[in-house]
Amino acid sequence: MTTESNDRVHATGSCNCGAVKFEVTQALDSVFLCHCSICRKSTGSGGIAVTVVPNEEIKITQGHAHITQWRKPGHDWLTNFCDCCGSPLPGENDAQHQCIPVGLLDSGAEQLEVKHHLFSDSKAPWERISGPGKIHPGEYTP
């Protein structure tokens, strides 16, 4: 995530308590819904809805000191969260991209659409996947 100022802000977001804020400098259009057991346990829900942007397209504008990272032992999965309110925060998707939980967006979410459901084979037994988006039994590979 960059920390430089950019006049091309397309979206803004914040955690539940407002301690951490960020800006995105690319238009957002795709939502990825992950139904894996790790994301379910991380959120306490059916999974997590994220959008993915290149590292250089997002910057934290406030609250760096409140970002805590947890890495699942023995796994490549990690999550960032606010140490004040516990909200999940943007974090590493891969070396070149950040994932942004779309529920954090304060602006710029108007064009978002669910495009992919990931790890559908790992969804909760009570969950029914419906609506738009391609269903992937495992991870999404572009």
Q: What is the pTM of this model?
A: 0.90
Cα–Cα distance measured from residue 57 to residue 66, given in angstroms and rounded to the nearest whole number: 21
Structural domains in the chain, sorted by start? 11-135 (2.170.150.70)
Q: What is the pLDDT along the chain (142 residues), one digit of tens a residue?
A: 544 445 689 999 999 999 999 999 999 999 999 999 999 999 999 999 999 999 999 999 999 999 999 988 888 889 999 999 999 999 999 999 999 999 999 999 999 999 999 999 999 999 999 989 999 999 988 7
pLDDT at 75: 83
pLDDT at 77: 85
pLDDT at 4: 47
Burial of 128 (0-12, 13-18, 19+ CB in 10 A): exposed
pLDDT at 3: 43
pLDDT at 7: 64
pLDDT at 2: 46
pLDDT at 142: 76
Cα–Cα distance measured from residue 95 to residue 132, given in angstroms and rounded to the nearest whole number: 28
Cα–Cα distance measured from residue 127 to residue 41, given in angstroms and rounded to the nearest whole number: 14
